[in-house]
């Protein structure tokens, strides 16, 4: 069996939509994504704004990374909307706590992975890599 593409290969042209309502958390996530050498990162403040951005620029994005707890439209509501309209869009959920209820709800609605905050660049990088390799293998 051939090994999958490397992190550098998968991330070199990756375009990510980062959905997070907390400005400090956005800065941290953007820094981590830059450390991972992901060149294209757009941001949205909540799920509703993210859906507007996705509808206007769908071909542009290859991954959604979303916070769970946001005003207007939660990460779970966004996940459901993305799965309905773009079933194969890779989606990673960020959360402050991975309770059993969270994990069950996220999995039942098709999340590809979740990362508990705070996270290291290595943790997020490994989740992104696993999700993208899994999508490529399908």
pLDDT tens readout for residues 80-138? 999 999 999 999 999 887 788 888 888 999 999 999 888 889 999 999 999 998 887 76
Mean pLDDT of 7-12: 79
Whole-number Å distance between alpha carbons of 26 and 43: 8
What pTM did the predictor assign? 0.92
Whole-number Å distance between alpha carbons of 117 and 83: 23
């Amino acid at each position: 069996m051939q090994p999958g593409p490397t992190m550098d290969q998968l991330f070199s042209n990756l375009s990510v939509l980062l959905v997070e309502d907390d400005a400090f958390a956005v800065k941290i996530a953007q820094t981590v994504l830059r450390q991972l050498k992901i060149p294209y990162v757009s941001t949205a403040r909540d799920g509703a704004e993210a859906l507007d951005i996705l509808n206007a620029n769908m071909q542009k994005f290859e991954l959604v990374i979303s916070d769970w707890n946001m005003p207007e439209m939660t990460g779970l509501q966004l996940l459901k909307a993305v799965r309905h309209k773009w079933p194969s869009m890779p989606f990673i959920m960020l959360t402050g706590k991975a309770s059993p209820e969270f994990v069950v709800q996220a999995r039942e609605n098709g999340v590809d992975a979740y990362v508990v905050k705070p996270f290291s660049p290595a943790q997020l990088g490994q989740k992104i890599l696993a999700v993208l390799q899994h999508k490529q293998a399908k």
